[in-house]
Amino acid sequence: MNTNNSWKRRIRYVLIVLIILTAWIYGRSWWVKRVPAPTAELAQQAAKVRILRDEWGIPHIFGKTDADTAFGLAYAHAEDDFATIQETLASGRGSLSLLELSKKGIGNDYYSGMFRIREEGVREYERQLSPATRALLEGYARGLTYYAMKHPNEADGRLMPYRGIDIATGFAHRLPMFEGLLQQMLSLRGESFNPEEVVFISPSSASMGSNAHAVASGRSADRTARLNVNSHQPWTGSVAWYEAHLHSEEGWNMTGGLFPGTPLVLLGHNDHLGWAHTVNRPDLVDTYRLEVDPSDASRYRVDGQWLKFEEWESPISVDLKLFTFTYHARMRESIFGPVMQTDKGTFSFRVAGRGQLMKAVEQWYRMNKASNFGQWQNAMRMQAIPMFHTIYTDARNIFYVHNGLLPLRQDGFQYSGIVPGNTRKSLWTRYLPYDQLPSVLNPPSGFVQNCNSSPYRTTTGPGNPDRARFSPNFGINERMTNRAIRSLELFGGDTSISMEEFFQYKFDRQYSRRAPIFSEAVDILLTQFQPRSEFEKEGIRLLKSWDGRVDDDSRAALLAILTWRPIWRSIEIELSKNPPDPVITFRRAMEYLIRHYGKLDVPLSQAQRLRRGNVDLPLGGGPDILNAVYFTEKEGRLEGWAGDCYIIIVEFAPDGVRSWSLHQYGESNHPDSKHYSDQASMFTQRLMRKTLRSEAKIREHLEREYHPGE
C-alpha cells in the first residue's frame, strides 16, 4: 500500500513538472515572440497605397512614391507568403536558428557570421546606397512590419521591427550562393551538393538553369521585337518567383518577377524596355589552401612571412524552447577571405564582389527606372550584380552581355582547383570592366539567346564575342546546353519569326541530336554497350526508337531521362569532372521503372507529375529542355520541383508594350487560397495569360481593391 502511494506521489510530481514546463514553454514563447500593435504612422502610409488584385490574384501596387509602392509590395507579398519572407530575412540577419533548430538554421547562421554579412550591412548601408534606394528599402521594411503587426500570430517579434538594412543585407547573403560558394564549401567538407536538400535557406545554387531569347523587329514577321524571360528556379522557397506589377507617381511602372524579401522586380519589363537573366558560371569563387604555423595556429605563411589571422566571435542564438542559448563561434579571416577548417586542411574563400554586393539592389532599382538603353547600360556599369547572362530588349535594340565580376588573375595558377594561399601572386583585387565583357549588340542575325551556355555562341553568323579576347583565368563556361543548341536551331533557322512561332519555340520539347543527353548517355549505349540479357536488349531497343521528344505520351523519354539525369546532375550541379558511367545509370533506370511500373515503356506523364495540394496533373517536358522540368522522386512518382516557373514574354510593338505571363502554381502559398494552384492546369498545357498594366484593364478583371491593412 505504501509502495502504491509512493508511485502515485511520483507520478503526481512528474505531471506537475510537465504542466509547469509546458506552461513555461508556451508562456515564454508568447512573451519573447510578442508583436507590438500597429502604429498610426504606418496606417497613414498604408493609406497612400492601393492594392488591386486581379482575377489571378496578381497584386498591382499603386503608390504615391516609389517607397509607398514598396510598402504595398511588402504587404501584398506577405499576404501570400509571409512565412518565407520572414525566414529569408532572418537568414540574412544570421538569426535563422531563432526560428528553427535545424542543420539548415545553424549552417546559415554560421555562414552569415563567417562572411560578416550583418557587419558589412551596418558598415556600408548608408555609404553604398543612395538616399532614394534607402527610402525604397525602408518603405518595404515598413510595409512588412505593418503586416506583421496586423497579423501577430504569424510573426516572430524578436525580428521586429524590420529595417531597410535587413532587406539590403539579403542581397549580400544570397548572391554568393549563385556564384557557387556553397558547392565549394560542401566539397571541402566531403559533402555532396543536393539542390533539393540545400543546407542554407537560400538555395540559389539550386537554380537548374534559365532561358532568355530576344528577336529584333527585323527578324520578326510582324516587325515587332520580342523578349522571352524564362528563369528556371525552385518552385517553392526563398528563391521561388512571385509576380507583381509596381506603379508609382514617380514614374515607376514595372511588371515582372521577384523573390521573397526583394523590394523591386528582378526581371521583367516597364513601358520602354525589358530584360532577362540566366545563370552563368564564370570562376567567381577561389578556394585557397593556407599554410598554418604548426606551432602557432593563429599564424599562416604568405611570401615567407607569418601573418596573424583576423579573429572574432560570431554569436549564434538557438531557441531551445525552454530558453535561448547563444553560442559564440570562433571565426577567422586571412588576406584571401574567410577561413574554414576541415579534415583536409585550412582553407580561405575569396568571393567576387564581397563587400559591395549590397549595392545590387541599387543597380536593379536603376534598371527598373531606366527609360532607354543608355540609362539601362549605365545601371549595368555599376557591376554590383556579380554574375548572370543578361539579355535586354526594347523596340530598337537587342543586347546580350555575359555580365559578371570577372577577377583579373595572374597567370601561373590553376584557379579552377585549390589555389596556393602562401603567395600574394594568387591574390586578385580588380575586375574586368563592364564594357570589356563578352557582349552582342544588334547582330545582323536579328536574334540573341542564352540558355546557361557559351557566350561565344550567342547568335548565328557574325557578331559573336571573340573567344581569343578572354583569358582562361576567367573560367567562362563554354558548355552548350540542349536549350542553347535548340535555340540556335529554331531561332537561327527561321528568318521571319511570327508571334505564334516565338511562343512555340519557347515551349519546345525536343532534344537536339547534338545535345548532351545523346553524346553523354544515349549514343554511348547505342554504339558501345553490349546487352547481357533480354531485359537489357529491350531497353536498348527502346532507346533506339526514341525520337528525342519529351511529350506527355512519349514511351521512351522516361528511360532516356532517368539514364542521363545522374550524369547531368554530376556535371551541371555538382560540377564533377568524373560523371557516372552511363551503363550503370542505364541499368539503375531500368530497375527503377520495373520496380515502380512493371515495364520499361512508361508514358512520361504517367510518372512525371505536377503536384500542389490536391492538384495532381500530368507533366511533359524534361531536364535541359526549353520547356524545362526537373523532378524529385517521391512515392514512385517524379514530382516536378524546378524548371520552367514564372515566364513572361514581352513584345515591343509600335503602339506600345504588351506581355503574357504564367506561373507554375499561382500567387499564394496558402493551401486554402484559390490562387494556390489556379495556374497549374494552364502551366501543364503551356497556355499563357495576358498581363494587365493599365488601371482600366485591371478593373475589367478586378477581384479586390484595398489599402494595406484593410
**How far is it, in rounded angstroms, from Cα 69 to Cα 250?**
10
Distances (CA, A) of 396 to 214, 225, 442, 652, 654: 12, 8, 9, 9, 10
Among the listed residues 258, 251, 257, the one whose alpha carbon sits nearest the alpha carbon of residue 371: 251
User: According to the model, what pLDDT value does residue 2 have?
Assistant: 64
Highest-confidence range of 10-24, 48-62, 568-582, 635-649, by mean pLDDT?
Answer: 48-62
Query: Is a pLDDT exceeding 70 seen at residue 588?
Result: yes
User: According to the model, what pLDDT value does residue 698 have?
Assistant: 98
Mean pLDDT for the stretch of residues 331-351: 95
Among 98-112, 405-419, 470-484, which is the least confidently predicted range?
Answer: 98-112
Q: Report the share of the chain in percent with pLDDT over 90.
A: 84
Mean pLDDT for the stretch of residues 507-514: 98
The cell for 212 is 532568355
Cβ proximity of 302 and 322 under 8 Å: no
Query: Is a pLDDT exceeding 50 seen at residue 351?
Result: yes
pLDDT digits (tens, 9 = 90+) for 601-626: 999 999 999 999 999 999 999 999 99
Among 6-15, 67-76, 199-208, 350-359, which is the least confidently predicted range?
Answer: 199-208
Between residues 573 and 579, the one the model is more confident about: 579
Residues whose CB falls within 8 Å of the CB of residue 146, separated by 6 or more in sequence, listed in order: 38, 42, 43, 45, 46, 71, 75, 708, 709
Query: Is a pLDDT exceeding 50 seen at residue 75?
Result: yes
Q: How does DSSP classify residue 474?
A: G
Mean pLDDT for the stretch of residues 456-483: 96
Residues whose CB falls within 8 Å of the CB of residue 216, separated by 6 or more in sequence, listed in order: 225, 397, 398, 442, 446, 447
Cβ proximity of 619 and 686 under 8 Å: no
318 Cα distance to chain centroid: 27
pLDDT digits (tens, 9 = 90+) for 372-409: 999 999 999 999 999 999 999 999 999 999 999 999 99
Query: Is a pLDDT exceeding 80 seen at residue 206?
Result: no
Among 96-105, 388-397, 701-710, which is the least confidently predicted range?
Answer: 96-105
pLDDT digits (tens, 9 = 90+) for 249-280: 999 999 999 999 999 999 999 999 999 999 99
**How far is it, in rounded angstroms, from Cα 269 to Cα 259?**
16
User: According to the model, what pLDDT value does residue 192 have?
Assistant: 59
What are the structural domains of the chain? 516-625 (1.10.1400.10)
User: According to the model, what pLDDT value does residue 200 have?
Assistant: 40
Query: Is a pLDDT exceeding 80 seen at residue 4?
Result: no
**How far is it, in rounded angstroms, from Cα 541 to Cα 154?**
56
Helix (H) or strand (E) holding 339: strand 339-342
Mean pLDDT for the stretch of residues 623-635: 93
What's the whole-model pTM score? 0.94
Among the listed residues 453, 405, 422, the one whose alpha carbon sits nearest the alpha carbon of residue 346: 422
